Amino acid sequence: MSFFHPAGAGFKYIMLAVITMICFGNYFAYDEIEPIEPKINKALKINHFQFGNLYAVYSYPNMVLVFFGGLIGDKIGLRLAGLIFSSLVVVGAVLVPLGPSLAGWAISPFAGYIIMMLGRIVFGMGAESLNVIQTSMTALWFKGGRELAFAMGLVLSVSRLGDFLALSITSNLVSALGDFRHALWVGTALCTLSFIFVMLYGFLDKYAEKYVKRGPIDPTENELNFRAVAHFDARFWILSFLCMAYYSGVFPFVAVCSDFLQTKYHYNEKDAGWIASIVTLSSMILSPFLGKMLDVVGRRPYFIIIGSLAILPAHLLLAWTDITPIPFVIIIGLSFSIVPGAIWPSVPLLVKDKETATAFGLMSSIQNLGLAGTNQIAGAIADKSYAWVMIFFAAMDLLGLLLGILLVIVDKAKGGNLTTLPLNH
């Protein structure tokens, strides 16, 4: 059978290559504002707290909407849902640079800030649900084999490549293009590219339907089934709140990292951006390899505990010492490779196939519930003391560690398929 035939062994890797690019653009656009915070603040006349709102408003709608995104994905299908959510991403990615571009000559700086906020809201409404759809696409094509964690790790790796590029080259783009406003439009272009890959996925998945068996479809099963949530395994809920706590110590850290490095360690804007990008670079490189390891050895809750134990002292040492920050940023990056790589592939083992997108959506909703608050809290604390910001992140790390220990206890009581068996056993 041809490598390119949908029923052949190689076709799913063609699909994987397409899936990996679906969220590349929105990961870039999410963090492209971080390295140029001082320029945005000056142009729009805003402070750290108001800048933090640009991250918080991304998360606020997704405390609810991303759950419905998962339900919609299970109801109308991943292909159509992907097109809807990627369209929202592109619209939001247009509005984000439009506000600053108009500010100062066509509208007031405050009006430009409001447009930028609106863009981040619309962008977030599409981006987080698109992340859920992308993860569900990966589970659809790889669940049942011994490669799910590897596939999810590779998807995360390519997505985080977008994040890494945003953190590491945005300042260079500003220098090359002459204005931070021009650099923001690069994110818009990459979001458009991601939309094209969503369309390509739809075409290939539709083509493969008649060749790949996915079991009979009961049309009554894919209703917007809110009752499905009631019977989710207790371990799913622990994983969801663990995910919220852990990400609350990482994403807000990345959001303030560049300015923190410039303020405390007196790095210039470009060097601070490169150091801040180490978190994403580490996870980008290591996620597929660690995913493959987890496919083989399983025992994912133990790796969650290891990753949480690593990140906690890193945040505390950044708060309390003046030692060069690079080793601690690297440790945070290593932790960020391990913990998400253990969390997300565990979900398909705990829910029914027809409820996978709903489960991913609900987990993402809970994650965004935490991120909406912690981004604002971190921004408010940063206006007073960056040391206390790091201590706040360490508190989130500790909560994640305790939930990881609880997950081990509960999993062993329920038979231990997460703590003792290889993934996809």
Query: Is 42 a member of any domain?
Result: yes
What number is the average pLDDT over the span 123-127?
A: 91
- The number of domains in the chain is 1
Q: Which residue has the higher pLDDT, 172 or 167?
A: 172
pLDDT(425) > 90: no
276-329 pLDDT, tens digit per residue, is 878 878 878 887 887 778 777 778 889 999 999 999 999 999 988 888 889 999
If pLDDT is split at 50, 70 and 90, which confidence band does 342 have? confident
pLDDT at 150 over 80: yes
**How far is the CA of 328 from the CAs of 119, 133, 258, 325, 367, in angstroms?**
33, 33, 14, 5, 24
Say if 420 falls within a structural domain: no
Specify if 223 maps to a domain.
Answer: no
pLDDT at res. 218 = 44
Give helix 11-20 / helix 109-142 axis angle, nearest 10°. 170
Q: What does the pLDDT look like over 230-271, one tens digit per residue?
A: 778 889 999 999 999 999 999 888 878 888 888 888 888 778
DSSP codes joined into one string, 33-94: TGGGHHHHHHHHT--HHHHHHHHHHHHSGGGTHHHHHHHHHHHH-HHHHHHHHHHHHHHHHH
Residue 421 lies in a domain: no
User: Is residue 44 situated within a structural domain?
Assistant: yes
Query: Per-residue pLDDT averaged across 332-359, rounded?
Result: 84
Contact (Cβ atoms closer than 8 angstroms) between residue 260 and residue 382: yes
Residue 119: pLDDT band (50, 70, 90) is very high
Q: Is the model's pLDDT at 223 over the cut of 60?
A: no
User: Which token pair is 212?
Assistant: 């790949």
Q: Tell me whether residue 390 is in a domain.
A: yes
Domain with 51 in it: what CATH number? 1.20.1250.20
Distances (CA, A) of 58 to 129, 145, 322, 344, 369: 12, 35, 33, 21, 11
Return d(Cα 404, Cα 63) in angstroms, integer.
22
Predicted local confidence at residue 237, as pLDDT: 93
- If pLDDT is split at 50, 70 and 90, which confidence band does 221 have? very low
Give the SS3 label for residue 240.
Answer: helix
User: Measuring CA to CA, how many Å separate 256 from each of 33, 186, 324?
Assistant: 11, 21, 17
Alpha carbon distance 220, 75 (integer Å): 10
* Range 331-349 average pLDDT: 87
Question: Can you give the pLDDT at residue 331?
Answer: 92
Is 248 a member of any domain? Answer: yes
Asked if the model's pLDDT at residue 120 lies above 90, the reply is yes
Give dist(CA 402, CA 309) in Å, integer.
10
Is 354 among the domain residues? yes
d(CA 254, CA 336): 11
- Domain span at residue 380 reads 11-211+233-413
Global confidence as pTM: 0.74
